[in-house]
Amino acid sequence: MKALVYLGPGKNALEERPRPDITASTDAIVKITKTTICGTDLHILKGDVPTCQPGRILGHEGVGIIERVGPAVTTFKPGDRVLISCISACGKCVYCRKLMYSHCTTGGWILGNSIDGCQAEFVRIPYAETSLYRVPDGADEEALVMLSDILPTGFECGVLDGKVAPGSTVAIVGSGPIGLAALLTAQLYSPAEIIMIDLDDNRLEVARKFGATQTVNSADGKAADRVMAMTGKRGVDTAIEAVGIPATFELCGEIVAPGGTIANIGVHGKKVDLHLESLWDRNISITTRLVDTVTIPMLFKTVGSHRIDPKLLITHRFKLDHILDAYDTFSAAAKTKALKVIIEA
Ligand SMILES: NC(=O)c1ccc[n+]([C@@H]2O[C@H](COP(=O)([O-])OP(=O)(O)OC[C@H]3O[C@@H](n4cnc5c(N)ncnc54)[C@H](O)[C@@H]3O)[C@@H](O)[C@H]2O)c1
Ligand SMILES: [Zn+2]
Ligand SMILES: [Zn+2]
């Protein structure tokens, strides 16, 4: 089969690989129909993710059709259409029993990381019963690819942990796919204001189309002043960090209102300062989270009922044969205006 393989920092290639086999009774083999590339795959290509070693097939998002199941899998059978969660969950360990699948002691984020992923014609999914979700009849496959990772990430780590509430004021720092997913799902709770902050005017324009009430280009370093002016010097009830650098986390600390919440989504690779000298008396909460994807079943329903349309995030489409072009397009997002690219296997 064809597969996109990580070959070490800065190097990837489309290679011919043997089809995966069932190695545990709880496995399923899924024939991929649609997959995509995540910002995290670009982190891997930079060499930022040491658990992902050269030779690994990348990819942790996608939909497909069950080809074979191990003897312990009873809820799926060959031919079933399934959505793949980016998080593999055994369903039995102490963290899975708390619905904290991201910390599953033998799973978590392993797909396209420490085991082969889904940017290929076939993939082996461990713990199939608790890591795959049946695709409802008539559902749009492309829209559902957004449910493997980015929609639950924006929703769980940003909107739910950030306690977005009716009539509240929200700021989302970072208008990439994850920040936009938080913007789409925040609207399920009818906040009064959603302010999107980014450096890229194109992404801010997209944010306005997706429902942002105000946008701020923070390139001049005055974003905090502007957000305070927009909120009557009060600040925001929820500040969602969706970039993953020190400056954007610190900005959240500057704009959070007394009693508010900073919900961090970004993956941080560098030391970040927490300014308790200005935050200690503000009655705020700070949350951090690795996406658990426990909200996938609920998101299926909101997508099915057209309450949210994740297809808005798709900007480009490629065949698996041209996945290297897809990587080029996705990694030059400022120039190509790419958000999410769909790859058809
Ligand atoms: N917690 C989790 O489980 C989880 C899951 C998936 C992704 N993530 C992380 O979420 C973050 C966002 O992901 P993404 O795919 O949207 O990334 P992205 O790189 O596509 O988007 C980031 C956005 O931030 C903007 N930006 C960069 N510097 C900025 C600054 N100084 N001020 C304002 N905006 C700035 C960029 O212009 C871009 O639009 C990443 O750190 C990613 O690794 C976390
Ligand atoms: Zn991802
Ligand atoms: Zn587990």
**pLDDT tens digits, 131-169:** 999 998 888 999 999 999 999 999 999 999 999 999 999
Half-sphere exposure of 2 (CA within 13 A, CB side): 13
Q: Which residues form the pocket of ligand 1, taking CB atoms under 6 Å from any ligand atom?
A: 39-40, 149, 153, 157, 173-179, 197-200, 203, 218, 242-245, 247-248, 265-267, 289-291
| The pLDDT of residue 233 | 97
CA of 290 to the centre of ligand 3 (A): 14
Q: For residue range 247-290, list pLDDT tens digits in order.
A: 999 999 999 999 999 999 998 888 999 999 999 999 999 999 99
Given strand 214-217, what is the order of strands in its sheet?
Answer: 214-217, 193-198, 169-173, 236-241, 256-264, 285-288
CA of 79 to the centre of ligand 3 (A): 26
Q: How many CB atoms lie within 10 A of CB 100?
A: 18
Top mutation candidate among 42, 178, 252 for ligand 1, by most atoms within 8 Å of CB: 178
Please list all protein residues whose beta carbon sits less than 5 angstroms from ligand 2, which is an ion.
38, 40, 149
Token duo for residue 42 = 């670009």
Is residue 305 a contact partner of residue 280, using CB atoms and an 8 Å limit?
Answer: no
The rounded distance, in Å, linking the Cα atoms of 82 and 69 is: 13
Is residue 7 a contact partner of residue 13, using CB atoms and an 8 Å limit?
Answer: yes
Top mutation candidate among 243, 287, 336 for ligand 1, by most atoms within 8 Å of CB: 243
CA of 54 to the centre of ligand 3 (A): 26
Is residue 32 a contact partner of residue 62, using CB atoms and an 8 Å limit?
Answer: yes
| The pLDDT of residue 300 | 93
The alpha carbon dihedral of 335, 337, 340, 341 has a sign of: negative
SS (H, E, C) 301-315: HHHHCCCCCHHHHEE
Report pTM. Answer: 0.97
The ligand with the least distance to the CA atom of 43 is 1
- Taking Cα atoms as reference points, which of 80, 90, 15, 5 lies closest to residue 44? 5
Share of residues in the chain with pLDDT > 70 (%): 100
Half-sphere exposure of 234 (CA within 13 A, CB side): 12
The rounded distance, in Å, linking the Cα atoms of 313 and 133 is: 21
Is residue 231 a contact partner of residue 241, using CB atoms and an 8 Å limit?
Answer: no
Mean pLDDT in residue range 218-241: 98
CA of 177 to the centre of ligand 1 (A): 8
Q: For residue range 285-327, list pLDDT tens digits in order.
A: 999 999 999 999 999 999 999 999 999 999 999 999 999 999 9
The rounded distance, in Å, linking the Cα atoms of 292 and 151 is: 11
| The pLDDT of residue 138 | 84
Q: For residue range 48-63, list pLDDT tens digits in order.
A: 899 999 999 999 999 9
Token duo for residue 229 = 């002016």
CA of 174 to the centre of ligand 1 (A): 6
Q: For residue range 93-120, list pLDDT tens digits in order.
A: 999 999 999 999 999 999 999 999 999 9
Mean pLDDT in residue range 65-92: 98
Share of residues in the chain with pLDDT > 90 (%): 96
Q: What is the mean pLDDT of the chain?
A: 97
Token duo for residue 32 = 């991929």
Tell me the pairing of strands 28-36 and 62-69: antiparallel
